[in-house]
A = this chain, B = another copy of it.
Amino acid sequence: MIKKLTCGLLATMVATAALYPTNIMAQDQQPLTMPTLEDLIPGGETYRYTENLYGLQWWGDRCIKPEIDSLFAINPKNGKETLLTTRAKLNEVLEAAQLGKLSQLYSVQTPWPDKTQLLLALHGKYIVYDWKAAKVVAQQAVEKGAANMDYNAESGHIAYTVKNNLYVDNKKVTNEPEGIVCGQSVHRNEFGITKGTFWSPQGNLLAFYRMNESMVTPYPLVDITQRIGTVDAIRYPMAGMTSHKVQVGIYNPTTGNTLYLETGDPTDRYFTNIAWAPDERSLFLIELNRDQNHSKLCQYDAASGRLMGVLYEETHPKYVEPQQPIVFLPWDDTQFIYQSQRDGYNHLYLMSVNNSSPRQLTSGPWLVQSILGFNAKQKEVIIAATKESPLQSNIYKVRVKDGRLTPLDNGQGVHSARLSASGTYVIDNWSSPQVPRNIDIRSTANGKETARLLTAADPFRGLVMPTVETGTLKAADGKTDLYWRMLKPADFDPAKKYPVIVYVYGGPHAQMINANWMYAARGWDLYMANRGYILFTLDNRGSANRGLEFENCTFRHLGIEEGKDQVKGIEYLKSLPYVDAQRIGVHGWSFGGHMTTALMLRYPDVFKVGVAGGPVIDWKFYEVMYGERYMDTPQQNPEGYRECNLRNLAPRLKGHLLLIHDDHDRTCVPQHTLSFLKACVDARTYPDLFIYPTHDHNVLGRDRVHLHEKITRYFEDYL
């Protein structure tokens, strides 16, 4: 059973010759032009960005809108703008103080609701500027080579790193040799970890990660831009091999003392989701075993580093994956919200440091994506969730007392919101299949739009555009609905036969089809549809936003179920009279590169041409954290590793397969592709290859246009 949700607005963009767009008029009588890759690929010289407002933020409950030359405050009740200051004025003061000058105001911050002060970073200094007094009220320099800057607005302290060591203000906090990294993200950014420093609420203490990776075997990347090539050796723990060891330290800037949490032997353990107690006296971590099937919410005493207690534990026969730190209720220092997929979907649970039993706040076959904050007065938590549709992200308030859920936006599309200090307003930056981007201010009292800050113009106005459709079909399990997206050429003729290119990702943590602008169709998809291809994408089982069971059916054999679902998509395509079943191609990057290669090899009679970017070929070459979560170790799961090792399928290659790898791919090391080439040479099969020197696990910036021209030529030559 196929449901079709044609995107009406886009469907009207028809009646223009895809390849010869001369002198054909659209409804508004303006000639449409055929977009180029430079128009459609980020990094292109004429890339069509969707309009946006940069640097929008809250100053207490007033909205701050920076422009290049002016800084405005907006009254959220009515959208009325007030000029706060100008760049000219600001630069006059900065230059007088010999601090340099700003070239725009987008990056200034207003973290102090009760002060007329801006925070700005300039030439290696953090500067606090009072726009009312028109003077610099504080400045703090950082050491040369500083990175990972983490400024605490309460205390004014700055944590940062220089090379592998941690600094606070001008003091070197750690003094570790190469191989031990402090103050940076650990565990390869899994478990929701994105940084390595965590200020306590008042900024009196700094929790930080210390990772000893000296025992991790380095993988050699070669830098060919040097006079004679040099090695960039990255510590890359591969599945089943010795991994790094992580500790959590607490630094006290007042005393200059550092202590480390007494977690016991850190070997084969993960220390994730650091959160401070509101009183700064204890620190919460979610700890996991290397098997990733047992998590513990632990509370540590910040003064002694001792374990105070384990507040909650979760186990699962496959894996548990904590990705969100706990969040305390602003009106009760003893209660916090813990997020868990224990009922199959990520939901909120109210817990207490006193260890009373958890109370589930949200429930249902949809998931909470994030906590935006609280309205303390109303005792509400504001969240983003997928309740309307797995393709959408909408804003809700949840009454903590009884879990009552109230929608706060228009119920359409994908919303990204920032909550004001009191939690009474949100800045709602959203798009939908028909809306490139709108930015509204909404009241959390009733969800009403109180001001429209931006209505972005169609970035593709004046250009020939394909039509975009979506729908669902049944997965290979015969019961699960899967979402697909299809792009057809603007001059689509149902009497013709079209070649199809499947764009695939297919791995966990991502979804290719969303109800945002044009259903998240990518620029290259649009480009290829304009060239006469049907572009098709299906979010198979294993992908994001559909709950735990949907995701973990792939456990211990990544790529197999995913591939079966993709073939269901192909069966649907083949049922369409206008699809040329002999000309089906596939393209994807990273996990999508794995899928592309796997589909070419497992279904050699279905797919004629594939382009696999940065593919995983053998999960044993992938890293410990992500790899073992889904595959266990090669020692525990030899059959799964064997079955999913695409080298073993090298003899099956029949069509044209182009593998593209970056020579500085730190995520999916070049060994994947190179070892696959060797397997194909051994098997007398004939893939093609391209390497992008100096790039890292994708080709970004200007060269991204080259990449997509390269991919285009391959499909044009062979599909």
Residues of A within 8 A of B (CB): 217-220, 222, 224-225, 227-231, 233, 236, 238, 241, 620-621, 663, 669-671, 674-675, 677-678, 681-682, 684, 686, 688-694, 703, 705-706, 709-710, 713, 717
Contact = CB atoms under 8 A, between A and B. Distances in A.
Contact of A238 (B225, B227, B691): B227
Contact of A693 (B227, B621, B677): B677
Contacts of A678: 224-225, 693-694
A229 B682 CA distance: 19
B693 A690 contact: no
Given A688-B690, A690-B689, A709-B684, A229 B224 contact: no
A597 to B, nearest CB: 16
Across chains A and B, which 4 residue pairs bring their CB atoms closest together, nearest first? Answer: A678-B693, A224-B674, A224-B671, A220-B231
Contacts of A693: 674-675, 677-678, 681
A694 B705 CA distance: 32
Nearest to A634: B227
Contacts of A238: 227-228
Given A225-B675, A663-B674, 12 more contacts: A224-B670, A228-B238, A229-B669, A231-B231, A677-B690, A677-B692, A681-B693, A682-B703, A686-B706, A686-B709, A686-B710, A688-B689
A620 B681 CA distance: 31
A238 B230 CA distance: 13
A241 B228 contact: yes
A222 B225 contact: no
A59 to B, nearest CB: 44
Contacts of A224: 670-671, 674-675, 678
Given A220-B229, A241-B228, A671-B229, A689 B686 contact: no
A620 B677 CA distance: 29
A220 B222 contact: yes
A701 to B, nearest CB: 11
A134 B220 CA distance: 56
Contacts of A218: 228
A229 B219 contact: yes
15 contacts: A219-B229, A220-B222, A220-B229, A222-B670, A224-B675, A227-B238, A228-B241, A229-B669, A229-B671, A674-B691, A675-B693, A686-B710, A688-B688, A689-B691, A691-B691
A414 to B, nearest CB: 33
A674 B691 CA distance: 8
A339 B379 CA distance: 99
A683 to B, nearest CB: 9
A691 B238 CA distance: 24
A219, A228, A233, A241: most-surrounded residue (chain B CB, <10 A): A228
Contacts of A710: 686
Contacts of A225: 675, 678
A709 B682 CA distance: 13
A387 B230 CA distance: 49
A126 to B, nearest CB: 37
A610 to B, nearest CB: 16
A689 B231 CA distance: 22
Nearest to A663: B674
Contact of A686 (B677, B682, B703, B713): B713
A663 B220 CA distance: 13
A684 B674 CA distance: 25
A220 B230 contact: yes
Contacts of A677: 690-693
A350 B705 CA distance: 67
A339 to B, nearest CB: 35
A227 B241 CA distance: 10
A445 B693 CA distance: 64
A104 to B, nearest CB: 29
Contacts of A670: 222, 224, 229
A295 to B, nearest CB: 28
Contact of A681 (B230, B233, B706): B706
Contacts of A220: 220, 222, 229-231
A710 B219 CA distance: 30
A521 B238 CA distance: 48
A681 B700 CA distance: 12
A688 B677 CA distance: 15
A675 B223 CA distance: 10
Contacts of A694: 678
A229 B684 CA distance: 23
Contacts of A669: 229
A241 to B, nearest CB: 7
A233 B693 CA distance: 20
A224 B663 CA distance: 13
Contact of A692 (B233, B681, B713): B681
A694 B671 CA distance: 12
A216 B485 CA distance: 57
Contacts of A217: 228
A669 B674 CA distance: 16
Nearest to A620: B227
A697 to B, nearest CB: 16
A644 B686 CA distance: 32
Contacts of A241: 227-228
Nearest to A713: B686
Contacts of A229: 219-220, 669-671
Contacts of A663: 674
A233 B694 CA distance: 20
A231 B690 CA distance: 22
Given A674-B663, A688-B688, A709-B686, A236 B231 contact: no
A386 to B, nearest CB: 39
A684 B236 CA distance: 33
